[in-house]
Structure 1
Amino acid sequence: MFVSINPATGQPFASHPSHDAPAARDVLNACARAFPGWRDTPLAARLEALTRLAGLFEARLAPLSRLAAREMGKILPEAEAEVLRCARACRFYARQAPRYLAGETFPSETGRRMVVLEPLGVILAVMPWNFPYWQIMRAAAPILAAGNVLAVKPAPNVMSVAEALRELFAEAGFPEGTFRLLRVEEGLVAEAIAHPAVRGVTLTGSARAGAAVGAAAGAAIKKAVMELGGSDPFIVLADAVLEDCCTAAETARMRACGQACIAAKRFIVEAPLQAAFIDRLAKRLAAHVPGDPLDPGTTVGPLAREDLLDNLDRQVRESVAAGARLLLGGKKLPRPGYFYAPTLLANVKPGMPAFDEELFGPVAAVVEAADAEDAVRLANASPYGLGASVWTADTERGLAIARRIEAGMVSVNAVPRSDFRLPFGGVKRSGYGRELSRFGLTEFCNIKTLVVEDA
């Protein structure tokens, strides 16, 4: 049994039955039975279903947003933006899939050479909780558009959102078995991956989860896409426009209460600008109002689970013990729910949890760089490589530095975000493979070569 807990109160409000091993096999078998019919459904009809789904996201904006706020803890405006992003992604693939899936024909003196894109079959999606609608939809929209079917293992703490999604897919007219929930404990994931019907697996989660799922996929010789954690550097060069980068720094760190994989986590600031940057960022973080995510006056909600709160508190305490300076916050808030005070650390260095580990919560870690070369060194001194940003008045210099950062996405004078028009993914311990754009659409396609020789 999975229990939904409101992280703003710590109180349960819903429960969902789990699947044991036989029930999980039944779910995957149902997906396998649905695949041939969905594969053979004309592309236009598959995309019409995506368009209907987009309309349902828009029509149900209020209840869907409130559910995410209640179950995951993000403030209501962020939940609304997430739901609308799902609608836009559906419409994007409905427009672009015909072009992305068109394949190619190559001229030949003796016949034809063709490359066609065909769906693989049942794809297993192991999904996280921090963007409970968007994370599933950024996998589901391209995977289903390509003609695959999807079995989704939701994160245990957002099962109510997953159930709401299942209902939307059914109402949009997706055939039974094309989108199914696999409500299993972690221990059954490897068995699900090994199921003969499963042809690929996509995971968004921690590096630890990625290692386990990637190993199971490798053992079964199945395609995998891994979007894992990040400790994204936010590089502030001495010529950056201070007000702009501080505004962006606040947004990048506090969105989803700091619980975004691609959120900035290490603020690497050239020495001449560090004091002014810290002063402005501290004032911005101190102005945040923790509270009920459904309250319009709240600007930062709780962490999603109690264990996440405890781990963040450990990371901050151990970093301070190792020499980091605590300038703001640094404590759990004495109230019901899983709240942590907006926190600012300075003098953060390699070897501290605030530098080496992923900070999933409202904690900003400031790292001093002697110069731009030192900033690049510090940015790359991480096992992660998901996103990064460079802030400078000289955009060409910023672009040159961006090319040297080891990450899947680097922005100059902008906050990195997942965008359905662009490929998304990381390097190093942040994973492999790509989601979104045409790359995400073709990750789970058989890129088949056809050769026809004239008689």
Structure 2
Amino acid sequence: MEIKSINPYNGKVLNTYTELSDKQLFQKLEKSSKAFEKWRKVPLKERASLMKNAGQVLRDNVEEYAKMITLEMGKPIKESRAEVNKCAWVCDYYAENAEAFLADEMIKTDAQKSFVHKEPIGTVLAIMPWNFPFWQVFRFAAPTLTAGNVGLLKHASNVLGCSKKIEEVFKKAGFPKDVFQSLIVNHDKIEKIIENDIVKAVTLTGSEKAGSAVAQISGKHIKKSLLELGGSNAFIVWDDADIDKTVATALTARMLNCGQSCIAAKRFILMEGIYDEFVEKFTKGVIELKSGDPMEEETKIGPLAREDLADELQKQVQASIKKGAKLILGGKQNGAYHEPTILGNVKPGMPAFDEETFGPLAAMIKVKTIEEAFRLSEQSKFGLGVTVCTSNIEKALEYVGAVSDGAYFINELVKSDPRLPFGGQKRSGYGRELAKDGMMEFVNRKTVYVK
């Protein structure tokens, strides 16, 4: 089977990839197993040095890799460069902190000596999405490989060029052959891969549907899974917020990557005292965002990654309007391009409130009290992150326990940072990536007891 990579901006075919046969796939699995037996014995300092090299390879080739991201999924070129550089940062972070994270943890008990020792578990399968085609992979690969595991990447079918480039990064950095392999396979091969004894664990970033399917397969075979799924983050603005600064943050929180992010602010829950001012200034800011060719330096809004994604967003917009939402700006679609769109008077029961909207759609929701704001924030099947904007930091901190999400940001958009654990609750998945937590997900934390 051939898989085509298509530029969403102009519809041109970028490349064609041939899917692995079953025989080729299982040969790669065998190579992964053999590579692990050698890689796990490589001293940690050497593994960390190679990961540091990977960060430098990314920086040295930032233009090449950024161009591939933009051509394959339409991200504006400036954002693609930022993504590649963030990948270099996560490589550096684990290269510099792995020794501390993986050190034995001494625990005082009745034993002469007792401690927790950390060891790699083997081959980890990563099923990754197209929206941040480099970052999502590196935030898995950096801690997992440095810990002594080996990786298999099943990337989204529309970013297979990125998948091959990522494999190339590790080769250029000097990693031993087969420690990291890109698999050109369709989703119908995933179950065969997971059920193979060589694969010890699975990490998936993607849709709720994909996560549920992978969790079922992993559970059937008693294998650990980590799921980073969708989100419908609330962006709560109190009456005392600095509106100009808040709007600037909100524009990035919703429109970065053309709104195609699980942690994007999607539901803007605004106190009635500042509702009109916020909406007016936010609308003005959106109008000023330049749409066009994502390869051009000044472009802020490009196409969505595929036309069917724009189709789905358009359905959500129109269904919300039919249920009473007010169209403030945008609302039109042309192929894979969807106009940045703002809806007012959004309420529960509308797709713009209830569902994940993966594109440049901002839902405006008016509330009378802080308590109502948090109640509506919680009225979601997702639980990834919440932003609260206010000048009263201490009061905002009192509400940390009012949300069940995996992140609570004050006066800042929800974002991932190598130094902080990242993950969600409810239908947003389970497990944590990044920080020390991310490295601990795929190690055997072995108890050692000496009498």
Name the TM-score class by shorter chain: over 0.9
Query: Do the aligned residues in 2 keep the contact of 1:389 with 1:416 (CA within 8 Å)?
Result: yes
Corresponding residue of 1:205:
206
> 2-side partners of 1:130 and 1:67: how far apart?
13
> 2-side partners of 1:239 and 1:245: how far apart?
11
> 2-side partners of 1:265 and 1:284: how far apart?
16
Q: Give the partner amino acid of 1:75.
A: P
> Structure 2 residue aligned with 1:423, among 415, 421, 426?
421
Matches within 5 A, 1:39-438: 39-107=40-108, 110-333=111-334, 338-438=336-436
Query: Do the aligned residues in 2 keep the contact of 1:312 with 1:361 (CA within 8 Å)?
Result: yes
How far is 1:107 from its partner? 4.2
TM-score, structure 2 as length reference: 0.98
Query: Do the aligned residues in 2 keep the contact of 1:10 with 1:338 (CA within 8 Å)?
Result: no
Aligned length: 450
In the alignment, structure 2 segments of 5+ residues that lack a partner are none
Q: Give the partner amino acid of 1:375.
A: A
| Percent of aligned pairs with the same amino acid | 43
1:245-299 alpha-carbon deviations (Å, 9 max, x no partner): 1111111011000001101000000111111111111111111221111112311
Query: Relative to structure 1, is the Cα distance of residues 114 and 267 closer, same or farther in structure 2, using a 3 angstrom cutoff?
Result: same
Q: Give the partner amino acid of 1:384.
A: F
Q: Give the partner amino acid of 1:353.
A: P
How far is 1:403 from its partner? 2.6
> 2-side partners of 1:391 and 1:107: how far apart?
44
> 2-side partners of 1:268 and 1:406: how far apart?
17
In the alignment, structure 1 segments of 5+ residues that lack a partner are none
Helix, strand or coil at the partner of 2:40: helix
How far is 1:198 from its partner? 0.6
1:170-192 alpha-carbon deviations (Å, 9 max, x no partner): 11111111101122111111111
1:188-228 alpha-carbon deviations (Å, 9 max, x no partner): 11111111011100000011110000111111100111000
Q: Give the partner amino acid of 2:117.
A: V
How far is 1:358 from its partner? 0.6
Q: Give the partner amino acid of 1:44.
A: K
Query: Do the aligned residues in 1 keep the contact of 2:308 with 2:336 (CA within 8 Å)?
Result: no
> 2-side partners of 1:238 and 1:23: how far apart?
60
Q: Give the partner amino acid of 2:378.
A: N
How far is 1:104 from its partner? 1.3
> 2-side partners of 1:158 and 1:152: how far apart?
12
> 1-side partners of 2:202 and 2:111: how far apart?
39
Q: Give the partner amino acid of 2:331.
A: G
How far is 1:105 from its partner? 2.1
> 2-side partners of 1:352 and 1:93: how far apart?
42
How far is 1:242 from its partner? 0.7
Q: Give the partner amino acid of 1:229.
A: G
Corresponding residue of 1:12:
13
Helix, strand or coil at the partner of 1:202: strand
Query: Do the aligned residues in 2 keep the contact of 1:328 with 1:345 (CA within 8 Å)?
Result: yes
Q: Give the partner amino acid of 1:151.
A: L
Helix, strand or coil at the partner of 2:171: helix
How far is 1:102 from its partner? 0.2
> 2-side partners of 1:239 and 1:105: how far apart?
48
> 2-side partners of 1:106 and 1:411: how far apart?
34
Query: Do the aligned residues in 2 keep the contact of 1:3 with 1:16 (CA within 8 Å)?
Result: yes
How far is 1:398 from its partner? 1.2
TM-score, structure 1 as length reference: 0.97
How far is 1:110 from its partner? 4.9
Helix, strand or coil at the partner of 1:233: strand
Query: Relative to structure 1, is the Cα distance of residues 407 and 107 closer, same or farther in structure 2, using a 3 angstrom cutoff?
Result: closer
